[in-house]
Amino acid sequence: MQTKVILEKQDLTYLSWTKTRNSSGTAGSFLKSHSDLSGERVYYKLSNYDAYKGIVGHESINELIVDRLLTIFGIKHLNYNLIHADILVDDRIHETYLCASTDFKKRDEDKVALDAYYQIEREDSESPLDFCIHKGWAEYIWEMLVVDFLILNRDRHGANIEVLRNSSTKTFHLAPLFDHGLSLVFNCNNIETVHSFDVMEDKPVQCFVGSNSAKDNLKLIPKNSYPQLNPIQKSDYEIIFSDLKTVLQQTYIDKIWEMLWRRWLFYENFCNQR
């Protein structure tokens, strides 16, 4: 699926939403849905929803921004579309932006969360990181740790990494990177908190294969194994935020770009100094 922003409002009030508790610990829920109307399954995801205030977050926009960033880097990932739509939740119509994606799982594949697979297959006293390395997934993990530092992903728990099993070849591999909503400045719900947000602060994160410090997790990568990513250029600003200026306030855009740019410079210096 080609990443795009659909600005013309769509009628998606036919979708039925299920609630998944916000794992960040903040008030609200993340609502998910799917449809098969187009002949293939499409998954939909809302930003943070509050039963009283309505849709209060912008996590769906983050998915599109990170999608574009990973395309620049050349990292395999799940693609998202951002859709302007009317939806129906709790018998109320809400106008919002939501993200949509197709299934990364092929017809002959089954999927299981990495934490569940680890519990079944790990050797005695083997850490999640060591488990992934001995399975041959080290390059994937190193790329993931760098990405999660750059976007300050706070929610890389063991179910946000999935293992795919091919029933024909009996082989296992990790699914493309997905689910980056709880990143960037996701918890800034007003202009004041955006202005005061320190883009270089090492906020606590969930990371199944590492620590609760995104910065310290960079140190888990062996010196000769730093991912060779296409560098961020200042010209990438227009690519990353294309069609988003009517979707997200400029203050948010400026802060997100500051985060990506400054964290990329930090990562470059980190690689050169070790």
Residue 36's φ and ψ, nearest 5 degrees, are -125, 20
**pLDDT score, position 26:** 38
Residue 2 has pLDDT above 70, yes or no: no
Give every CB contact of residue 122 below 8 A, 6+ residues apart in sequence: 128, 131
pLDDT of residue 3: 67
pLDDT digits (tens, 9 = 90+) for 169-202: 889 999 999 999 999 999 998 999 999 999 999 9
As a whole number, the mean pLDDT across the chain is 93
- For residue 230, give the amino acid letter: N
State yes or no: pLDDT of 127 exceeds 80: yes
Q: In degrees, to the nearest 5, what angle opens at C-alpha 125 toward C-alphas 120 and 128?
A: 60
Tell whether domain 109-273 is in CATH 1.20.5: no
